[in-house]
Structure 1
Amino acid sequence: MIIIPSSVVCPRCFSKYLYRFGKDKEGFQKYQCKRCKRQFAPDNPPSNSRTRNQRKYPDCPVCGKATFLHHDYTYYSNFRCCDKNCNHSFRVPKLINVDPPSSELKPESFSLKGMRHPLHIVLHALTYYFCGNSTTRKVAQTLYLVHQIKVSHVTVSKWIKRFAPVFKKIADDRLLGINLCDSDEWHFDETYIKIAGKDYYLWLAFDAETRMVLDFHLSPNRDSNSAHTLLANCRRKFGQPCHAVISDRYFAYQQPASLFFPQAEHIRVENFDALINNNVLEAFNGQFKAWYKPKRGFNSFESANRLIATYIFFYNFIRPHSSLNGLTPAQVAGVNYSEKERLFWLLVA
């Protein structure tokens, strides 16, 4: 007969009528009270017991009860209350660094060495390609008809990719000193493009007041990670708007909008007819698709990323907008550069 030590009593009713009830997870002897059915392990030290303040997951902010992990994402976790009457759901960000967007091109050395044609011919080709919604074959044909210069469409494509890091460096240097925190609204949206026959998503950030594209991110996925990448880089480069962050009803924007723009209201647009809508960014998407569709997609991710970066540079710095009284979005945002610099694509700056 196994004798239970006399010092062991039930912690609830202080009864000594006990059963031996196996062992707990740490290997300590458990007992069960015959009266109140309480189970306990008296030899298990209190430091190993899980109290309210030592729960695995955070307490419910509404009722204070335990929670469970509902969804686990790369940059945050979604928890839900264990009490079915409460059933509150909340998000907790993870303390990890967010990956940079695809718009952050790697710095490269640039030289005009080896180019057989004058610089102004190259710039004309870039103008026809980005402002004329032309393909590289049509650009080569236009150069031959207008300038009597015969080049291959492959050469035109190499010119465009070669100048992309240069334009990126110029844009970063000129946008470094501007302040967009006094802007009322920033808009976020995504659209899809074809790369080597597969769907990719172009994530865009847009300032409604200056009509400037703040940043972009090209990704094969339409998920929360891409939204975090875009919004985190906008916060790092430009701060946050003074009034609102506007997006569609896609759930991926909720957590990064509240995390990176806590002082701005996150407005999720219901439809195009709402008083506050995303139409300014949808209008840019229409212009981008008009430039993109004649090309019938891109051949590679690197090529698409460089072409999109250069197109956005032309949109922000080169092409004047009638809605901005003939100014470019960069000029409205406070970037100072002369008309001569704009005509020469800022390469003489």
Structure 2
Amino acid sequence: MYFLESPSHTFRCPHCLKALEKIKERKDYYIHKCKNDDCSFYQTNLRRMTPQEKEQFQHTPYAFKVRYLYREFLFDFKPLAPSSPIKTKVDVSRLSVSSHTLGLILTYHVNYGLSARKTASIMKDVHGLSISHQTVINYANSVALIVKPFIDQFPYELSGSFCGDETYIRIKGRWHDLFFMFDAIKKVVLSYRVSPNRDTFSAIRAIDDVLKKLPSIPEDLSFVVDGNPIYLLAQHFFAQHGISFDVRQVIGLTNEDPVSEEYRPLKQIMERFNRTFKGNYRPTHGFGAEEGSVSFVTLFVAYFNFLRPHSALEKRVPVVIPALESLPHMPARWAKLIAMAQEMLAQQAAS
């Protein structure tokens, strides 16, 4: 699906122009190495070694990465490619429920993290409206399709302090990975991808979601992430496409290196966000289909970015939209957010 058969190219070292030798095959990429002992890259790295490192190199050369390596990625993915307009067939106005009632359902189900069954029960017990838990799920799936383009294409004002992390979500009894990318200062979720695997391609797509939201790629762009090597591989992938950024990896639970000490506060902000998400997700006890999980995550991000007041922002929402802020209660804000998302889709369809 995402992977292509590797063409029979001959890759050459940019430092000595000798042909590279394929030394390893991984699921997502092949590794090619320059084995020329006269290569300037290799010789420079040898000269930079301390006497102790040179002695160790004689006994365990495999412990040092001194030769030029090239990773040939096997998936067909173009960074910063424009997304195709989403043509959803869902029309909320045709649902057999008023906009206020739909807003109530989303408030209970998303804002307060109630399961679909509890949401259906509270609509019956408090509001006298009989609906099934499957109806709650259907409404959530429909609204998620509508608001997702609005979330992804909104012109956010970003700070440049980006961090990422993965958490877990249960689908059909199996754990899946959920990749979040987050503006730690503005408190805006920029990527929220559900994946069956914690792999390089998922990390690339998550970072690409952030890059698409930037008016231009700043020279000092960096991402604060954990010690998972997939982010370094993603960095290599983007570098091959002329897109450069730094990856600051915060390792472990204690500050054993200067990078971890400097950037751990940003990582902790990301971890607090994960705990907030899990607080809303836990009552669902997982999902029976991938569609349900994606819908729930999408609606949570819509709530977090546009509707949820944040203590670090003096009780303001991360993304202030005056048309939402002026409304008296949360069901009305959900209804207005849905209407704005539908209006954007209609404009895209007309253009």
- Structure 1 length-normalised TM: 0.72
Deviation at residue 259 of structure 1 after TM alignment? 4.7
* Aligned match of 1:17: none
Matched, 1:198 2:187: no
Deviation at residue 337 of structure 1 after TM alignment? 4.2
Matches of 1:100 and 1:218 in 2, distance apart? 19
What letter corresponds to residue 265 of structure 1 in structure 2?
A: D
Deviation at residue 311 of structure 1 after TM alignment? 1.2
* Aligned match of 1:26: none
Matches of 1:105 and 1:290 in 2, distance apart? 32
Q: 1:254 aligns with which of 232, 235, 238?
A: 232
Q: Residues 57 and 69 of structure 1 are in contact (CA less than 8 Å); yes or no, is this contact kept in structure 2?
A: no
- Counting only pairs closer than 5 Å after superposition, residues 89-108 of structure 1 correspond to structure 2 as 89-92=68-71, 96-98=76-78, 106-108=86-88
Query: What root-mean-square deviation, in Å, do the aligned CA atoms of Structure 1 and Structure 2 show?
Result: 3.1
Cα distance per residue 1:225-253 (max 9 Å; x no partner):
11112212321232546442111111111
Q: 1:160 aligns with which of 140, 158, 172?
A: 140
Q: 1:347 aligns with which of 332, 338, 351?
A: 338
What letter corresponds to residue 244 of structure 1 in structure 2?
A: S
Q: Residues 195 and 299 of structure 1 are in contact (CA less than 8 Å); yes or no, is this contact kept in structure 2?
A: yes
Q: Which has the higher helix share?
A: 2
Distance 1:134 1:194, change over 3 A: same
* Aligned match of 1:298: 287
Matches of 1:105 and 1:213 in 2, distance apart? 21
Q: Residues 222 and 248 of structure 2 are in contact (CA less than 8 Å); yes or no, is this contact kept in structure 1?
A: yes
Matches of 2:161 and 2:27 in 1, distance apart? 27
What letter corresponds to residue 338 of structure 2 in structure 1?
A: L
Cα distance per residue 1:186-216 (max 9 Å; x no partner):
1121112111011211111111111111012
What letter corresponds to residue 257 of structure 1 in structure 2?
A: Q
Matches of 1:317 and 1:307 in 2, distance apart? 15
Compare relative contact order (CA 8 Å, sep 6+) and give the higher one, 1 or 2: 2
SS of the equivalent of 2:96 reads coil
Matched, 1:210 2:199: no
- Over alpha carbons, which structure has the higher Rg? 1
Q: Residues 307 and 333 of structure 2 are in contact (CA less than 8 Å); yes or no, is this contact kept in structure 1?
A: no
Q: Residues 128 and 139 of structure 1 are in contact (CA less than 8 Å); yes or no, is this contact kept in structure 2?
A: yes
Matched, 1:222 2:211: no
What letter corresponds to residue 339 of structure 1 in structure 2?
A: E
Cα distance per residue 1:255-275 (max 9 Å; x no partner):
323554755322111234433
Matches of 2:186 and 2:107 in 1, distance apart? 23
Matches of 2:79 and 2:333 in 1, distance apart? 34
* Aligned match of 1:30: none
Q: Residues 195 and 304 of structure 1 are in contact (CA less than 8 Å); yes or no, is this contact kept in structure 2?
A: yes
Q: 2:247 aligns with which of 256, 260, 266?
A: 266
**Structure 2: any 5+ residue segments left out of the alignment?**
1-8, 43-65, 255-260, 341-351
Matches of 2:280 and 2:217 in 1, distance apart? 30
Distance 1:80 1:228, change over 3 A: same
Deviation at residue 77 of structure 1 after TM alignment? 4.2
Deviation at residue 57 of structure 1 after TM alignment? 2.5
State the number of aligned residues. 286
Q: Residues 168 and 309 of structure 1 are in contact (CA less than 8 Å); yes or no, is this contact kept in structure 2?
A: yes
Deviation at residue 66 of structure 1 after TM alignment? 4.5
Distance 1:73 1:236, change over 3 A: farther
**Structure 1: any 5+ residue segments left out of the alignment?**
1-54
Deviation at residue 110 of structure 1 after TM alignment? 2.9
Q: Residues 32 and 72 of structure 2 are in contact (CA less than 8 Å); yes or no, is this contact kept in structure 1?
A: no
* Aligned match of 2:274: 285
* Aligned match of 2:10: 56
* Aligned match of 1:88: 67
* Aligned match of 1:41: none
* Aligned match of 2:263: 276
Deviation at residue 89 of structure 1 after TM alignment? 4.3
Matches of 2:119 and 2:22 in 1, distance apart? 55
* Aligned match of 2:53: none
Matched, 1:236 2:212: yes
Distance 1:178 1:113, change over 3 A: closer
Matches of 1:271 and 1:264 in 2, distance apart? 22
SS of the equivalent of 1:107 reads coil
SS of the equivalent of 1:57 reads coil
Cα distance per residue 1:50-94 (max 9 Å; x no partner):
xxxxx9331264x66553123356775432232579451423465
Matches of 1:290 and 1:324 in 2, distance apart? 20
Q: 2:319 aligns with which of 330, 335, 347?
A: 330
Q: Which has the higher strand share?
A: 1
Distance 1:82 1:111, change over 3 A: same
Q: Residues 169 and 176 of structure 2 are in contact (CA less than 8 Å); yes or no, is this contact kept in structure 1?
A: yes
- Structure 2 length-normalised TM: 0.71
